[in-house]
Structure 1
């Protein structure tokens, strides 16, 4: 208890504490409280460059975004800002805004044409003759241009469209020195740099047929008597799948005639037709924007060629469609020598189709199914076909799936009447492209390509081989052993002569003629052109009716014992 002498009575201590507390509070309110200077944010200095001007600014902004808002600078989505908007500011920074603008420009430019030289021994040395004038092409290019602060900084093409392909100048150059002339039976035609060239019984004077430009190589086939050439050419946009079917007489100064059949994947002559100008079969597709650029209809048309150009070609639809595996790619076809059937192949099967339009039974006979080969791409591997001269056996190549890690391909022959299947060549490769020869003295050998690397036959080199009709006595005929080889993968790289004594083939883009009797090959073309698609006539009925040599009974494997068993062990 605290006493108060002035009043003479004691003051309770809780009252004293109350008085002291309020007195201290009044003292504190009367004092000025100061925070440490380090806790107060002042202005900082930064540099800002935008729209061609540089500013030195005092700012209290805490990051780049706030600074731009404070300065009234708008930044578009395409503009470049350095450093980024979320970057904190501490002073001394250089902030740069670069204005970005893009424009699209379209330019048209001329495409130069090339000059092709064709050597001619019948002209004097140094003499020149332009047989086809050159014509520049036209190309349209879309260019993307980027401007930085109004100045062009980048430009690059985004799309290029060829409006018109250039036409090469073809010049005939006289060399005045005769070369060895090579004679052969019949008429031999081939494609050379997109044109059609014909040789009439010898190599001395190649002649060009006026087929126009744009041969696409899908169809290029002499008629059985050699009087006409059946071909396709591109008549629209060369960047997309589109073509039309034509025929032209092989006589000089002839002009092509359209058959009004479009978007053709395959076409071929009936070797035994009795029609005046012959009969053809063909199959079509539709053009698409998706790879590979077409979708096969897997249809089949049959029609006789009108004798007069005034008459319309009126084919008959034999098969409307066929639901094949990977059918969008299409199949391969081959006429039987007697003209009654077509051999066909798709990704996992081969068979035959009866052609007679009046036939009432089941047209299609599936002879063999096998595993398809997955290319892991937008193309499909389909085996090529070749018939024995008597029309009984079909030779083909199929994928061997014994070991998926080591894909190999073998070549076989199958009896189209009994279905007996026998292997001709083990590890021949996917591009073997067997071609059965014309019968000569009861012998009909088979020419084929053989891979140099069976485990990578898709990309390897190939050499040309010959074997007997039963698959025996296989031997390499070109090039010589241990020489580098350069054969195309194109199926139509080879054609047999009407007598079966010679083979025309394409090697390193040049045309060669191989003589079975001499066991040697001679080059027929001497220019730098890209040659392909040899086709030789006569064949079929035209051989029997129009050639003065003994046409013996066609030869085939004599009996099924000639075959290797269907599933032999690889160790055998």
Structure 2
């Protein structure tokens, strides 16, 4: 019985197989029957100015017809109708030859003209302080052609090769202030140009009118006969930043002298008592913020009046400079040139002028700026180089991270005893102490900026304060309480007393220059164009 069931199953499977084979044979026979007609279409292909007639089977696409006609297509060529279209009898196909061309054009960028009012010039007098120059733009244009005819243009790239430099005209306007007598020579930086006041505030003459002074260095020589300054070299990141120059102030026809020193950000100054001897520290330009890597070096160079280098000595070799060495080191000569102090974000000390070694005196908790700059303590020497005034970073009670404390104290370091004395608490991180000339009795005063808010950190404004050398008789004198405060700056004492026997302070307030009485706070405004950037006296 089991055998009979198996036999029937096998017979059923074989019968079905034969039926499938028979059906396939019939279909194959029909398809191979030469009697079955295949319909052909006639189409036309227009290419390269010629019309080709072509026989193709029904159902042929445009792409198939192009391939059958042997027409080679370039990457940008296109078809009308598109290649996937199924052709009909009598239909025409167009091959459109497409090519592109990249053309580079140099475009001139015209310079702008700017006018700056300056009451340092006589009224209505015009002076070109910066000649204008056109810029250049390199523009790459993509031109598209179809069958030899231009069909479109598009800008694919623009690169400024040369930036335009604006023409800057300075026009004299009426001076709103009555001239007043001043001792010595007062120099100031206004709109990138150096000016001199001498004898009285109305007697002014331009010193350098190139408009490129960057204000990094702007310092009178100890005898007040020469001006040391820096000029911008380039605005492109990673390029030369600036160069160092000097100018003879005793000769009204003198021209600036290039000192062949460059990339000076933090320090360059005259060496007291050594004529035309200058010390400076350099950096290496970088494309990344802040735009440089400090060398933390110190070079001393002695020049002739014409700028010839007579002697060069490296006092401090280029070095890492510690944890914040990328920012740079500040230096300060004592008035007699006997001592040289240095300051870094975490230390204040003295430079051994024989060996170049740095001797730490005051350890300072560095301030965490959380940005691409570093805070460096200010330095100021007493007239007899016995006291070094500086700033120390004070901790905030109850705060775990001392580096973020907003408190800074004005302190005095006694060189002979090695004693550090806190003079003013919470004066501010930009207090900039400045010592007056010595009085006949040997006394002197210290001016500094006192922050309006004790917790302002690296923002906010200040009031000018004056005190005796030991911190007594401390009073805030300018501006008046309730008025807008001062921007951080280093104020300047007059080199000699005025007619009343009192020294004055030159202060920049709202971009104008004021002379301030250190006891009464009486302020005399002597400029009004709002362009003042730096001052020395």
Question: Which band: TM-score by shorter chain?
Answer: 0.7 to 0.9
Equivalences for residues 130-209 of structure 1 within 5 A: 130-132=126-128, 135-140=131-136, 163=163, 165-173=165-173, 175=174, 179-209=177-207
How far off is 1:503 after superposition? 0.2
Q: How does 1:507-546 map to 2 (within 5 A)?
A: 507-528=509-530, 530-536=531-537
Counterpart-to-counterpart distance in 1, 2:113 and 2:101: 37
Distance 1:144 1:254, change over 3 A: same
CA deviation after TM superposition for structure 1 residue 501, in Å: 1.3
Map 1:176-255; keep pairs closer than 5 Å.
Answer: 179-210=177-208, 212-235=210-233, 240-250=239-249, 251-255=251-255
CA distance 1:425–1:392, change in 2 (3 Å): same
Q: Could you tell me which of 288, 292, 295 is aligned with 2:293?
A: 295
- Give distance in 1, aligned partners of 2:482 and 2:144: 60
Give, in whole Å, the separation in 2 of the partners of 1:165 and 1:448. 39
Mapped to 1, the partners of 2:284 and 2:447 lie a distance apart of 34
Distance in 2 separating the partners of 1:513 and 1:409 = 27
C-alpha distance in structure 1 between counterparts of 2:9 and 2:520, whole Å: 135
Change (3 A) 1:112 1:336: same
Residue 360 (structure 2) pairs with residue 366 (structure 1): yes
- When residues 469 and 493 of structure 1 are mapped into structure 2, their CA distance, relative to the original with a 3 A threshold, is closer
For residues 115-514 of structure 1, what are the structure 2 equivalents within 5 Å?
A: 115-119=115-119, 123=123, 128-132=124-128, 135-140=131-136, 163=163, 165-173=165-173, 175=174, 179-210=177-208, 212-235=210-233, 240-250=239-249, 251-265=251-265, 266-273=267-274, 275=275, 278-306=276-304, 308-309=305-306, 311-325=308-322, 326-355=324-353, 359=354, 364-402=358-396, 403=399, 404=401, 406-440=405-439, 441-487=441-487, 489=488, 491-499=489-497, 501-514=503-516
For CA contacts below 8 A with separation 6 or more, give which structure has more relative contact order.
1
SS in 2 for 1:111: coil
Partners of 1:260 and 1:313 within 8 A in 2: no
The separation in 2 between residues aligned to 1:410 and 1:295, in whole angstroms, is 29
- After superposition, the C-alpha distances for 1:388-441 in whole angstroms (9 at most, x for unaligned) are 122111111232344335432222111122221111222222211111222235
Taking structure 1 as reference, are residues 310 and 393 closer, same or farther at Cα in structure 2, changes over 3 Å only?
closer
How many Å separate the matches in 2 of 1:380 and 1:412? 20
- What is the CA-CA distance between 1:133 and the residue it aligns to? 5.8
Shift in CA distance, 152/363, structure 1 to aligned 2, threshold 3 Å: same
Following the alignment from structure 2 to structure 1, what is the Cα–Cα distance between the partners of residues 142 and 392?
A: 54
8 Å contact kept, 2:177–2:525: no
C-alpha distance in 2 between matches for 1:467 and 1:316: 38
Q: Take 1:286 and 1:413, find their aligned partners in 2: how far apart are those partners?
A: 33
SS at match of 1:375: coil
Q: What CA deviation, in whole Å up to 9, does each residue of 1:420-467 have, x standing for no partner?
A: 111122222221111122223544222222223333321222222222
Give the whole-Å Cα distance in 2 for the aligned partners of 1:196 and 1:320. Answer: 32
CA deviation after TM superposition for structure 1 residue 319, in Å: 2.1
Distance, in Å, in 1 between the alignment partners of 2:13 and 2:169 is 112
Q: Could you list the per-position Cα deviations for residues 58-81 of structure 1 after superposition, in whole angstroms to 9, with x for gaps in the alignment?
A: x9xxxxxxxxxxxxxx9x9xxxxx
Give the Cα separation in 2 of the matches to 1:252 and 1:446: 34
Contact residue 259 and residue 313 of structure 1 kept, 8 A: no
Q: Which runs of 5+ in 1 are unaligned?
A: 1-11, 34-58, 60-73, 77-99, 537-572
The residue aligned with 2:34 is none
